[in-house]
Structure 1
Amino acid sequence: MGYDLMAGTGEVWPHLLEANPHISQITAVDLSAGMHQLAMKRLHAMRAHRIDFIEDDVLASNLPAASADFVVSTFGLKTFNAEQQRKLAQLTARVLKPGGRFAFIEASDPRGWWLRGLYLFHLKVVLPLVERLLLRGANDFAMIGTYSTNFGDARVFVDMLRAQGLNAEFRKAFFGCATIACGAKPVLGSADMNDAAI
């Protein structure tokens, strides 16, 4: 069993369950029960028996210690400031069992990539325009470009995870348009598990 923190509409669940058929249960953790219920009805009815839900604020969470085999989170980091990211790193270290794995992926600023300007134009102009024209009432993309450039990448969060005693590594995806913090909670007496990832 594991947690999807700030789960939203559960975009990662089909991929996670397909890649890891041994996973019996994913517990979605999010502030919005209504969004979760709508996502279950529209997107995840066929896997509802493998998805649980906890309405919870990850920045003030009482999730039980050592209760998860894995922790994942997609595209929630960029909205957090440094202190909030530190709290998220602390929560991750607390809820993971020894040997448990984690992976956080976030839209990032691909500094140094020659197509960076085009990518940022897509985030800051194209996506919000599509949202205004086709997804009336939605507000998911309005600030995505600003959040992503302010966030930079996941390197600082990797350092925060390491400060909590986790074996964490930094990875790039799509030329740095997304970055990943992944790894595992050490098992006493085990070798370094930096290469472990979901």
Structure 2
Amino acid sequence: MVPARQESVRADQSPSPRAVSTWSGDAREQAVQRMFTAIAGVYDLNNTLLSFGLHYRWKKVTASLVPIVEQGTALDVGTGTVDLALLLAPRMGVKGRVVASDLNHAMLAEGLRKVAGKGLAGTITCLQANAEQLAFADNTFDAVTTGFCMRNVGNLSQAVAEIRRVIKPGGRFVCLEFSRPIFGWLRRLYDWYSFKLLPWIGTKVAHDTTGVYEYLPASIRTFPDQERLCQILRGAGFRDVSYRNLTGGIVAIHVATK
């Protein structure tokens, strides 16, 4: 169901990328997938450019919060081009397995090339799947991670509930996502960068024509902040919920246990 807040769009008119950030359900999902399909081939390059290379550190810290499990099984939801799944693999042990899932086929294809290039096809399985309808049995994984995925799902509460369902009792969920900077001056600077400089870079330097670099900062502003996301995780039944701010709260890593 498309919420009342969604602006009307004529058959010959594309939705505003900022408007998409306020949508939910299938309409949001389809619009987001079109944007990410268009930029899949340059996604990694643009991530490095637009984050000044910081995304590598953020992902390494995220992976370090996943406990080491011998012959473990892990799931990376919304894996994109599989960066986080590649960091998870060593933490699951020599005979461990990692499933890298994403709804977007073009992004997964980029990730699959990385997996093959590192000789990890026997360890990491790339699977096209919807975060809100995970096709796994209850209590399957020792750990589940997400990196810059949760603000793009159509129904956040449903995705969180699905993630909890597939984690084993005592297993860990680690979520890396953009959040709210903790200092006023940093929020002002980040807003200027997000809404002014980032779209310009995306258009002029990264040659983006999809509007995705307008959608991304808008989606960050409509996503729950650190404390609100903690509440959502607790409401879904997770315990020992905490978070760690990185780069002044520009991103936060939430950790929760089933």
TM over 0.5: yes
Residues 91-100 or 108-117, more deviating: 108-117
Aligned to 1:176: 249
Aligned to 1:8: 80
In structure 2, relative to structure 1, the CA distance for the partners of 1:25 and 1:107 (3 Å cut) is: same
Within a 5 Å distance, the mapping from 1:129-168 to structure 2 comes to 129-137=200-208, 139=210, 140-167=212-239, 168=241
Instruction: Using structure 1 for the length normalisation, give the TM-score.
Output: 0.80
> 2:179 touches 2:249 (CA, 8 Å); kept in 1?
yes
Q: CA RMSD in A?
A: 2.3
1:80 is displaced (CA, Å) by: 4.2
Aligned to 2:67: none
Normalized per residue, the structure richer in strand is 1
Residue type of the alignment partner of 1:63: F
Residues 146-155 or 51-60, more deviating: 146-155
In structure 2, relative to structure 1, the CA distance for the partners of 1:138 and 1:36 (3 Å cut) is: farther
Task: Give 1:114's match in structure 2, choosing from 149, 161, 185.
Answer: 185
Find the aligned partners of 1:158 and 1:44 in 2 and give their Cα distance.
36
Residues 63-72 or 24-33, more deviating: 24-33
Structure 2 spans left out of the alignment, 5+ residues: 1-72
Find the aligned partners of 2:121 and 2:201 in 1 and give their Cα distance.
30
Matched, 1:55 2:128: yes
In structure 2, relative to structure 1, the CA distance for the partners of 1:21 and 1:88 (3 Å cut) is: closer
Find the residue that maps to 1:125 and give its secondary structure: helix
Find the aligned partners of 2:134 and 2:142 in 1 and give their Cα distance.
18
Find the aligned partners of 1:172 and 1:115 in 2 and give their Cα distance.
13
Find the aligned partners of 1:123 and 1:22 in 2 and give their Cα distance.
39
Find the aligned partners of 2:106 and 2:131 in 1 and give their Cα distance.
17
Instruction: Using structure 2 for the length normalisation, give the TM-score.
Output: 0.63
Aligned to 1:192: none
> 1:109 touches 1:151 (CA, 8 Å); kept in 2?
no
In structure 2, relative to structure 1, the CA distance for the partners of 1:42 and 1:141 (3 Å cut) is: farther
In structure 2, relative to structure 1, the CA distance for the partners of 1:11 and 1:153 (3 Å cut) is: farther
Percentage of pairs with the same residue: 22
1:142 is displaced (CA, Å) by: 2.5
> 2:86 touches 2:115 (CA, 8 Å); kept in 1?
no
Normalized per residue, the structure richer in helix is 2
Aligned to 2:51: none
Residue type of the alignment partner of 2:158: K
Matched, 1:128 2:199: yes
Residue type of the alignment partner of 1:158: C
Find the aligned partners of 1:116 and 1:66 in 2 and give their Cα distance.
39
In structure 2, relative to structure 1, the CA distance for the partners of 1:39 and 1:62 (3 Å cut) is: closer
